[in-house]
Amino acid sequence: MSPNLKIFIQIDNNTIYEFQGRINERIMIECANHIEKLLIENKVKKEKVQNIFELFIETVQNILNYSYNTVHLSDAHKETSCYFTLSYITNQETYILDSCNLIKNNQKRVIEKKINFLKDFNNDNLRKLIRQKGRSKEDSHSNGAGLGYIMMTKKSSSPIEISFIPYHKDILIYKQRLYI
């Protein structure tokens, strides 16, 4: 996989936005703001813009926190490589946020367990779970309370799709698809 990040918005196979490079907090903010601006200029509904923005941020922050090849630039700042596309299916009025990054093999089970646990939750149950997790100190760690996948599931219009591809020894390529 290229060490660079690539982000582009694709509408019916036509790329309208593309970015390539390593990602860190500053670049994530630039990309998020750029995507938000493009969507607003294209008269996308506010709620949809908000959901795309939020899912983009959650995805990138997960990647920065859990990628195999994340480097710590300082105590508070991280940088890694990944790949993104944001595409649009016109006849379904649905956006697709694809991402892939490198993870350690032992992360696979953790991610699968979270996704499988959430797959049958409806919106009301997800809200209850957010409240429960938000107030509970269980599953708490330095990066959050395990709420990221719950929020992503709640704001996606279809179940999260994931796959894992062997890359090198105990390293996997983690691919994730969100429908918005």
Partner 1 sequence: MNNIFLDKSDNTPKIIMDRKEHFIEFEGKSYPENTFAFYRPITEWLKGYFQEETLVTQEITINFKFTYFNSATTQIIFEILDIISEAKPKNINISWFYDAENKNGLEDYEDYSEEFPQLNIQAKVT
Candidates 13-21, 142-150, 159-167, 168-176: pick the segment binding partner 1 (CB under 8 A): 142-150
Structure tokens at 46: 């506010």
- State the residue for tokens 């409240």: 131
Among 7, 63, 64, 178, binds partner 1 (CB under 8 A): 64
Candidates 3-11, 96-104, 110-118, 129-137: pick the segment binding partner 1 (CB under 8 A): 129-137
**Which of 151, 39, 41 lies closest to 95 in space, CA to CA?**
39
**Amino acid identity at 179:** Y
* Helix runs in the chain, H state only: 25-41, 46-66, 105-118, 123-135, 148-155
Among 96, 151, 171, 173, binds partner 1 (CB under 8 A): 151
3-class SS of residue 158: coil
Radius of gyration of the chain (CA): 16
| x-marked contacts with partner 1 along 75-114 as a string, rule CB under 8 A | -xxx------------------------------------
Residues that bind partner 1 (CB under 8 A): 25, 29, 33, 45-47, 50-51, 53-54, 57-58, 61, 64, 76-78, 127, 130-131, 133-135, 140, 142-145, 147-148, 150-151, 155
